[in-house]
Amino acid sequence: EAQVTQNPRYLITVTGKKLTVTCSQNMNHEYMSWYRQDPGLGLRQIYYSMNVEVTDKGDVPEGYKVSRKEKRNFPLILESPSPNQTSLYFCASRGSTNEKLFFGSGTQLSVL
Amino acid sequence: GESVGLHLPTLSVQEGDNSIINCAYSNSASDYFIWYKQESGKGPQFIIDIRSNMDKRQGQRVTVLLNKTVKHLSLQIAATQPGDSAVYFCAESGGSYIPTFGRGTSLIVHP
């Protein structure tokens, strides 16, 4: 089954404790992206990757890192999480340019 | 910067009615538009898309209309069902090929 898999589904952590949210897709997609979703603000892009070893900042990259060492994986790293990073995070992937995005099920992160 | 917006944050309809969700976009270079549906606790899912060389596209119970003159996009859902209750997002992309999302409209279907 074609899918984007994120883990974990829920995560509670404390300020300053490094964490990684994993994302993997099995569709051989070149484009992958991370979004955060906050009430009233919709989906805001954090980082995206057009292909392996190519990553770019989205609209809200501060406090986040990503890597794209393999085509299928695109982890989101929070080196020193802060409470304002409490949010619902989605990973997405896409095949060709100007095609629909496939989203993961989301990761609800709470930073205390 | 460019933005994609929605006219109504919440839309309440009765089961069986037709629903219309609107979206305004401001990037005149946008040439691809998508509607996504997000049910509670899930990620957004593709519903229907339309390219700028078209003004209407139909799917199963859904129709997307594109008016490039006034930069307006709408999603019509026929015979709305309780299972249609969700948040609906429009998204557009243009020359950068990076999609921009609207803030979403919450559709509430009353039995």
Chain A closest-CA separation from residue B40 CA (Å)? 11
For residue B59, the tally of other CB atoms under 10 A from its CB is 12
* Rounded Cα distance, B85 and B98, in Å: 28
Sequential pLDDT tens for chain A (112 residues): 889 999 999 999 999 999 999 999 999 999 999 999 998 788 999 999 999 999 999 999 999 999 999 999 999 999 999 999 999 999 999 987 778 999 999 999 999 9
**Peptide bond between residue A61 and the one before it cis (omega within 30 degrees of 0):** no
Tell which wins on pLDDT, B86 or A42: B86
> Are B3 and B100 in contact, with CB atoms under 8 Å apart?
yes
Task: For residue B104, give how far its alpha carbon lies from the nearest alpha carbon of chain A (Å).
Answer: 6
Tokens of B67: 């008016």
Residue B40 to residue A59: CA distance in whole angstroms: 25
| Chain A nearest C-alpha distance from B16 (Å) | 28
Nearest-angstrom CA–CA distance, A44 and A60: 7
CB A55 within 8 A of CB A97: no
Q: What is the pLDDT of residue B86?
A: 96
- Name which of A48, A101, A105 is nearest B42 (Cβ-Cβ): A105
Whether the pLDDT of residue B6 is over 70: the answer is no
Give percent above pLDDT 70 in chain B: 91
Chain A segment 79-98 residues within 8 A of B by beta carbon are: 90, 92, 97-98
Question: Which pLDDT score, from 0 to 100, does residue A40 have?
Answer: 78
Above 70 in pLDDT, residue B2?
Answer: no
Cross-chain Cβ contact A103/B103 below 8 Å: no
- Cβ distance of B103 and A40 shorter than 8 Å: yes
pLDDT computed for residue B4 by the predictor? 56
Please provide the distance, in angstroms rounded to a whole number, between the alpha carbons at the two ends of chain A.
36
Read off φ and ψ for residue B11, nearest 5 degrees: -130, 120
For position B96, what pLDDT does the model report?
A: 67
Q: Quick one: pLDDT at residue B7?
A: 45
In 3-state terms chain B splits into helix, strand, coil percentages (rounded to 5) of: 5, 55, 45
- B42 contacts chain A (CB < 8 A): yes
